[in-house]
Chains A and B, each alone.
Chain A
Amino acid sequence: MSTQTSGLDPNAPMVELAGVHKWYGDNHVLTGVDLVVPRGTVTVMLGPSGSGKSTALRCINQLEEIGAGSIHVEGELQGYREEGGRLHRLHPKKIAVQRARVGMVFQRFNLFPHMTALGNVMEAPVQVLGVSKAEARERAAELLTRVGLSDRLEHYPSQLSGGQQQRVAIARALAMDPDLMLFDEPTSALDPELVGEVLGVMRDLAASGMTMIVVTHEIGFAREVADQVVFMADGAVVEHGPVSQVIDAPTEPRTQDFLAHVL
Chain B
Amino acid sequence: MAEPERIHAVPVRYPGRWISAAVVVVLAAMVVNALVTNDKFAWPTVGKYLFSEPIMRGVGWTLILTVASMAIAIVLAVLLAVMRRSANPVMRWVSWVYIWFFRGTPIYTQLAFWGLISVLYPALTLGVPFGPALFTFDTSVVFNATRAAIIGLALNEAAYLAEIVRAGLQSVDRGQSEAARALGMKEGRILWRIVLPQAMRVIVPPTGNETISMLKTTSLVLAVPFIYDLNFAQAAIGNRIFQPLPLLVVAAIWYLVITSVLMVGQYYVERYYGRGFDEHAPTKGRRGSRQGAINAAHTTPEIGPTDDMGRPAGGGV
Interface residues of A (CB under 8 A from B): 61, 63, 92-93, 96-97, 99-104, 106, 108, 110-116, 123-124, 127-128, 141-142, 145-148, 150-159, 163, 169, 172-173, 176, 193-201, 203-205, 207, 218, 220-221, 224
Set of chain B residues within 8 Å of A200, measured between Cβ atoms: 309, 311, 313-315
A-B contact count (CB 8 A): 166
Set of chain B residues within 8 Å of A172, measured between Cβ atoms: 183
Q: Contact between B309 and A110 (Cβ–Cβ < 8 Å)?
A: no
Set of chain A residues within 8 Å of B277, measured between Cβ atoms: 113-114, 158
Set of chain B residues within 8 Å of A205, measured between Cβ atoms: 309
Set of chain A residues within 8 Å of B314, measured between Cβ atoms: 196-201, 203
B2 to chain A minimum Cβ distance, whole angstroms, is 33
* Nearest B residue to A221, CB-CB: B317
A151 to B279, CA, bound (A): 18
For the residues of A in contact with B, the DSSP-based class is helix
Contact with B179, one of A93, A112, A116, A195 (Cβ below 8 angstroms)? A112
Given A112-B179, A116-B288, A200-B315, CB of A150 within 8 Å of CB of B184: no
Asked if B316 CB lies within 8 Å of chain A CBs, one says yes
Set of chain A residues within 8 Å of B175, measured between Cβ atoms: 106, 108, 110
Contact with B184, one of A96, A115, A194, A197 (Cβ below 8 angstroms)? A96
Q: Contact between A124 and B178 (Cβ–Cβ < 8 Å)?
A: no
Given A96-B186, A127-B189, CB of A224 within 8 Å of CB of B317: yes
Q: Contact between B194 and A63 (Cβ–Cβ < 8 Å)?
A: no
Q: Contact between A100 and B184 (Cβ–Cβ < 8 Å)?
A: yes
6 closest A-B pairs by beta carbon, nearest first, are A200-B314, A154-B288, A100-B184, A220-B317, A110-B179, A156-B276
A201 to B287, CA, bound (A): 26
A203 to chain B minimum Cβ distance, whole angstroms, is 7
Given A96-B185, A114-B276, A128-B184, CB of A156 within 8 Å of CB of B310: no
Q: Which of B34-42, B142-150, B256-264, B289-297 contacts A (4 or more CB under 8 A)?
A: B289-297
* Nearest A residue to B317, CB-CB: A220
Q: Contact between A154 and B279 (Cβ–Cβ < 8 Å)?
A: no
A56 to B224, CA, bound (A): 61
20 further A-B contacts with Cβ under 8 Å, apart from A103-B182, A154-B291, are A92-B187, A97-B184, A110-B173, A112-B176, A113-B276, A148-B310, A148-B312, A150-B303, A151-B295, A151-B296, A153-B288, A153-B291, A154-B288, A154-B289, A163-B313, A176-B184, A196-B317, A197-B314, A203-B314, A207-B308
A188 to B54, CA, bound (A): 67
Contact with B183, one of A152, A157, A173, A194 (Cβ below 8 angstroms)? A173
Q: Contact between B279 and A158 (Cβ–Cβ < 8 Å)?
A: yes
Q: Contact between A199 and B317 (Cβ–Cβ < 8 Å)?
A: yes
Q: List 6 A-B contacts (CB under 8 A).
A: A92-B186, A96-B185, A145-B310, A158-B276, A169-B179, A199-B317
Asked if B209 CB lies within 8 Å of chain A CBs, one says no
A125 to chain B minimum Cβ distance, whole angstroms, is 9
